[in-house]
């Protein structure tokens, strides 16, 4: 099983690397990071903090774009090209196929993330900044976020068309990055009629803020590695749920 998953993962990685969309997105990411210096000049408080905030958020958005453009249509492209028939006819189960696609896409996103992080680190050092453990922790949090987004894109891609899967991945990202608003809506006695519902939703919905903690990282706060560990564990749970759902849907799909 492991060998078959690895073969699918390698094929997925090679296919994604050859995709021109990937190069365009990475070029956009590099321009995004280098252009963050413009906002740094506009900042009246801390130029370097603005550069880091803007760049890290840009890396997060690029990860989302990659999941939408590459991950959401990964299964549909295999079906359209009929390569899935060849793969499944060679003793590769449908579950192994989905796991291989997931592993390959995660490696793609992590490779792109590593490249973008390297550009950011060099850019920070070029402006007399320091690449400390806080910045590294933020990048690791973004890597966890990428795993969840990939699983969501694959799940929705197995359920519906690539366009709708991309839209659904975008909605999931928006919800996961604004979960903290649920807690703010219940502070100081606000919205007492909906307070209980908001508290439940806050604990049920995914929370990328607890995984990436970009704002806390670039504000000079000490790195809470236990919080990052919990965020990584939460990301693994969410990814497992969506990946299991993608496998179930793909197994039921008629070709």
Computed on alpha carbons and rounded to an integer, the radius of gyration of the chain in Å comes to 20
Give the span between the Cα atoms of 137 and 180, in whole angstroms: 20
Q: Where in the chain does DSSP place strands (E)?
A: none
Q: How many CB atoms lie within 10 A of CB 102?
A: 27
pLDDT at residue 218, rounded to an integer: 64
pLDDT at residue 35, rounded to an integer: 67
Fill in the DSSP letter of residue 35. T
Q: What are the C-alpha distances in Å from 166 to residues 5, 108, 154, 156, 172?
A: 24, 17, 10, 8, 10
| Distance, C-alpha 193 to centroid of its chain | 34
pTM: 0.87
Residues spanned by the domain of 237: 2-252
Fill in the DSSP letter of residue 190. -
- Structure-block tokens of residue 46: 């801390």
Helix axes 47-66, 133-159, angle to 10 degrees: 20
In tens digits, the chain (255 residues) has pLDDT values of: 667 888 888 888 888 777 776 777 777 777 767 666 665 555 545 567 777 777 888 888 888 988 888 888 888 888 888 887 777 777 778 888 899 999 999 998 998 888 888 888 888 888 777 778 888 888 898 999 999 999 999 999 988 888 999 999 999 999 888 877 777 766 666 666 666 777 777 777 788 877 877 766 666 677 777 878 888 888 899 999 999 999 999 888 776
Q: What is the secondary structure of 212-224 as a DSSP string?
A: H-HHHHHTTPPP-
The residue with tokens 């592993």 is 103
Q: What are the C-alpha distances in Å from 164 to residues 70, 72, 102, 110?
A: 13, 9, 19, 24
pLDDT at residue 180, rounded to an integer: 73
Residue among 37, 73, 235 nearest 147 (CA)? 235
Give the span between the Cα atoms of 210 and 214, in whole angstroms: 9
pLDDT at residue 220, rounded to an integer: 67
The structural domain count of the chain equals 1
Q: What is the secondary structure of 82-141 as a DSSP string?
A: THHHHHHTTT--HHHHHHHHHHHHHHHHHHHHHHHHHHHHHHHHHTT----HHHHHHHHH
């Amino acid at each position: 099983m492991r060998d078959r998953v690895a073969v699918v993962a390698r094929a997925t990685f090679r296919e994604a690397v050859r995709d021109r969309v990937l190069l365009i997105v990475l070029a956009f990411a590099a321009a995004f990071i280098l252009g963050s210096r413009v906002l740094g000049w506009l900042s009246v408080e801390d130029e370097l903090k603005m550069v880091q905030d803007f760049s890290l958020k840009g890396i997060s958005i690029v990860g989302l774009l990659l999941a939408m453009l590459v991950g959401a249509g990964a299964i549909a492209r295999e079906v359209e090209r009929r390569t899935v028939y060849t793969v499944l006819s060679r003793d590769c189960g449908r579950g192994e196929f989905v796991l291989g696609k997931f592993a390959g896409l995660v490696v793609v996103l992590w490779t792109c993330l590593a490249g973008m992080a390297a550009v950011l680190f060099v850019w920070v050092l070029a402006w007399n900044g320091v690449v400390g453990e806080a910045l590294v922790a933020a990048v690791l949090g973004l890597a966890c976020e990428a795993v969840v987004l990939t699983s969501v894109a694959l799940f929705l891609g197995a359920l519906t068309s690539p366009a709708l899967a991309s839209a659904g991945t975008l909605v999931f990202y928006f919800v996961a990055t604004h979960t903290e608003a649920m807690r703010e809506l219940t502070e100081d006695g606000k919205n007492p009629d909906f307070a209980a519902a908001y508290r439940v939703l806050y604990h049920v919905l995914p929370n990328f803020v607890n995984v990436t903690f970009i704002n806390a990282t670039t504000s000079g706060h000490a790195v809470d590695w236990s919080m990052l560990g919990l965020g990584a564990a939460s990301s693994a749970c969410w990814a497992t749920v969506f990946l299991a759902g993608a496998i179930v849907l793909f197994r039921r799909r008629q070709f």
